[in-house]
């Protein structure tokens, strides 16, 4: 696996008092990752209801998203999905711990991968590959399971905490050949042109610049043009990849699509509609595992009212 990590991404922060909260979180994740699988899941299970109570602003954002995106569901069904969403967020903590602690023997028995045969043929072709996914709660573990077979680089938003950033990057070295900041799209272009695999989750709202308004679950959403531009500029292939937890079997399933045909086209709007529809269909397979807590519809077309109102401001953060 080629190494494209930057030294700054792997530089360990000091133990200065201002970083102690980050080091405590790292210690907790390290312990969680070393526990037997069943113990880790048991420990985080009570966190779902607690997070739903403590993160009131995020809970209201999720309620607003669910009501707008799944109007066919009854109020009782959406309430059930909301509980499932926060349970999945709690489970995400132990999934991250498993991923970053680099214990393949703990991961292999719990995965079923679909579509990897066609992907192996694509990788042998030498062409770059853009892997499009979405912000589901099992994304980190899915990237780990996927990356062990098909290593590549991920496009990511740097964390605000340098200790957690270091620990995350240190852990991702087990299954990724590097990470590219979302501010460094030229880095993604270079990687795809040299034939690398690049993971990309475009389903967040980064404002109207470099975006078009495209339906997502029937709601107009600011959708990044990079999904069209990256393959257009690099002539890379494109697939979608979606991980999900299958509770009935206690396993994780990673679903990889065939290479998208006639993509990109000359019509950026049509391409974004196509990708949003593909992601939406896959999210609907396990809707409680999507990140409904993020402000996907924060940016509105001109003349439309604020989608979230005070809930967006009370939840904190700039971009999610």
CB atoms within 10 A of CB 267: 11
pTM for the structure as a whole: 0.91
Query: What does the pLDDT average to over 123-133?
Result: 96
DSSP assignments along 101-139, one per residue = TT-HHHHGGGEEEESHHHHHHHHHTT--EEEE---BTTH
Task: Name the E strands within the chain.
Answer: 111-114, 129-132, 153-156, 178-181, 197-200, 211-216, 219-224, 237-246, 251-256
Q: Which of 68-72, 210-214, 306-310 has the lowest mean pLDDT?
A: 306-310
Backbone conformation region of residue 300, classed left if phi is above 0, alpha if psi is from -120 to 50, else beta: beta
CB atoms within 10 A of CB 310: 10
Residue 170: pLDDT band with limits 50, 70, 90:
confident
In sequence order, what are the residues at sequence separation of 6 or more whose Cβ sits closer than 8 angstroms to the Cβ of residue 71?
218
Residue, of 108 and 202, whose pLDDT is higher = 202
Residue 315 in this model has a pLDDT that exceeds 90: no
SS3 label, residue 252: strand
At 231 the pLDDT is 97
In sequence order, what are the residues at sequence separation of 6 or more whose Cβ sits closer than 8 angstroms to the Cβ of residue 107?
98, 99, 141, 144, 145, 148
Residue, of 292 and 309, whose pLDDT is higher = 292
Read off the DSSP letter of residue 301.
Answer: -
Residue 175: pLDDT band with limits 50, 70, 90:
confident
pLDDT digits (tens, 9 = 90+) for 204-251: 999 998 999 999 999 999 999 999 999 999 999 999 999 999 999 989
Query: What does the pLDDT average to over 261-288?
Result: 97
Q: What is the largest CA-CA distance in the chain?
A: 54
Residue 256: pLDDT band with limits 50, 70, 90:
very high
Distance between CA 49 and CA 60 in Å, rounded? 14
In sequence order, what are the residues at sequence separation of 6 or more whose Cβ sits closer than 8 angstroms to the Cβ of residue 311?
57, 60, 61, 64
SS3 label, residue 246: strand
Residue 56: pLDDT band with limits 50, 70, 90:
very high
Distance between CA 102 and CA 33 in Å, rounded? 9
- 99: Cα within 13 Å, side-chain hemisphere: 27
Residue 301 dihedral angles phi and psi, to the nearest 5°: -60, 155
At 8 the pLDDT is 65
């Amino acid at each position: 696996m080629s190494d494209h990590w930057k030294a700054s991404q792997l530089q360990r922060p000091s133990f200065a008092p201002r970083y102690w909260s980050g080091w405590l979180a790292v210690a907790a994740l390290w312990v969680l990752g070393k526990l037997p699988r069943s113990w880790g899941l048991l420990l985080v299970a009570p966190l779902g209801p607690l997070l739903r109570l403590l993160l009131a602003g995020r809970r209201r954002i999720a309620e607003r998203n669910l009501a707008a995106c799944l109007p066919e569901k009854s109020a009782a069904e959406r309430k059930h999905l909301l509980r499932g969403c926060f349970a999945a967020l709690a489970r995400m903590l132990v999934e991250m711990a498993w991923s970053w602690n680099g214990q393949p023997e703990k991961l292999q028995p719990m995965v079923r991968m679909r579509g990897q045969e066609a992907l192996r043929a694509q990788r042998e072709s030498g062409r770059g590959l853009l892997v499009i996914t979405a912000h589901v709660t099992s994304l980190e573990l899915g990237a780990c399971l996927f990356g062990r077979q098909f290593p590549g680089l991920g496009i990511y938003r740097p964390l605000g905490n340098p200790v957690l950033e270091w620990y995350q990057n240190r852990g991702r070295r087990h299954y990724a050949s590097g990470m590219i900041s979302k501010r460094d799209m030229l880095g993604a272009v270079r990687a795809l042109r040299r034939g690398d695999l690049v993971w990309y989750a475009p389903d967040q709202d980064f404002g109207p610049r470099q975006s078009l308004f495209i339906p997502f679950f029937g709601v107009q959403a600011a959708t990044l043009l990079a999904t069209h531009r990256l393959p257009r500029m690099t002539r890379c292939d494109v697939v979608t990849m979606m991980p999900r937890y299958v509770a009935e079997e206690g396993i994780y399933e990673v679903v990889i699509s065939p290479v998208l045909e006639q993509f990109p086209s000359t019509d950026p709007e049509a391409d974004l509609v196509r990708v949003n529809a593909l992601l939406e269909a896959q999210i609907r397979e396990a809707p409680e595992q999507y990140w409904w807590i993020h402000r996907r519809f924060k940016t509105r077309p001109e003349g439309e009212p604020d989608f979230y109102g005070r809930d967006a401001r009370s939840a904190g953060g700039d971009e999610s």
